[in-house]
Amino acid sequence: MSGHSKWATIKHKKAATDSKRGKIFTRIIKEITIAARNGGDPDSNPRLRTAILAAKGCSMPSDNIKKAIMRGTGELEGGQIDEVIFEGYGPGGAAVLVNVATDNRNRTVSEIRHAFSKNGGNLGEQGSVAWMFERKSQILVAQDKATEDQLMDIVLEAGGEDLRNDGGSWEILSAPEAHEAVLGALKKAGIETESAEVGMIPKNLVKVEGKNAAAMIRLSEFLEEHDDVQNVYSNFDVDEKELEAIA
């Protein structure tokens, strides 16, 4: 893996301070429900365990978590939710993965396709860009919360793979299986995290500039705001000064 997308960091910081907590709750509840289809016991279901950690991280009431699990296992009735992965390219040739949870597949496909075409991108076939990403645990820590030496010792001992400096935060990357151990080690050390998730991290970055950069960010923001979108991953990168001008 090489490089780090500044937009990814900004996205996580925005999510961490998002005042629309209801929307964050909705996304996590959908993830818990989908994950629970493979079993309602978090001890034997790593995806469910990770989703519950995310729920607790944003102070979701335990009753909400319990009901989401029961809907996933079929113990409670609830609308059918389909999980769909869209793959495509944004302006400038950057790869984009969009993880969707929807109760109306046809409507969502139409809206996501429209978002890509309106912003200079296009949807691709299944498998067209997924190979450009790796599933990893990604944890962000503000640089005023810990030193590099502090984190290095904690992360390596807990099974982390990489520690990067993105200019404002420390980015900790690990195998998905080490996510809980690394997060637990940070918590035990009293180190606060900005965000923590298991997601798709780009192996390499594609630089986008000018109009392509502005259009790529518009596309990313539109997708992030869509009610059915759970996560958006991309390998695009923008110069920091240009990003500030666009923002």
pTM of the full structure: 0.83
List Cβ neighbours of 130 (8 Å cut-off, separation of 6 or more): 85, 87, 97, 200
What does the pLDDT read at residue 3? 40
Split into its structural domains, the chain has a count of 3
Do 140 and 177 lie in one domain? The reply is yes
Q: Which pLDDT belongs to residue 20? A: 56
Q: Compute the mean pLDDT over every residue in the chain, rounded to the nearest whole number.
A: 87
Least confident range of 20-34, 138-152, 220-234: 20-34
Residue 168: which domain range? 133-202
Kindly state whether residues 32 and 140 are assigned to the same domain: no
The backbone region for 190, taken as left when phi is positive above 0, alpha when psi lies in -120 to 50, beta otherwise, is left
Q: For residue 33, what is the domain's CATH number?
A: 1.10.10.200
Mean predicted confidence (pLDDT) in 140-169: 89
Confidence at residue 25, expressed as pLDDT on a 0 to 100 scale: 87
Domain of residue 229, CATH code: 3.30.70.980
Quickly count: other Cβ atoms within 10 Å of residue 189's Cβ: 13
Question: Are 162 and 196 in a shared domain?
Answer: yes
Q: So what's the pLDDT on residue 19?
A: 46
Q: What is the Cα–Cα distance from 34 to 71, expressed in whole angstroms?
A: 9
Within-domain flag for 40: yes
Map tokens 């925005």 to a residue.
14
Please name the residue that has the structure tokens 């005042």: 19
Q: Is position 1 within any domain?
A: no
pLDDT at 76 over 90: no
Confidence of residue 109 (pLDDT cuts 50, 70, 90): very high
DSSP letter at 60? Answer: -
Query: Both 242 and 122 in a single domain?
Result: yes
Whether residue 141 sits in one domain with residue 198: yes
Q: What's the pLDDT band for 165 if we cut at 50, 70, 90?
A: confident
The pair of three-digit structure tokens given for residue 189, joined into one six-digit string? 């050390």
Q: What are phi and psi of 53, to 5 degrees?
A: -60, -45
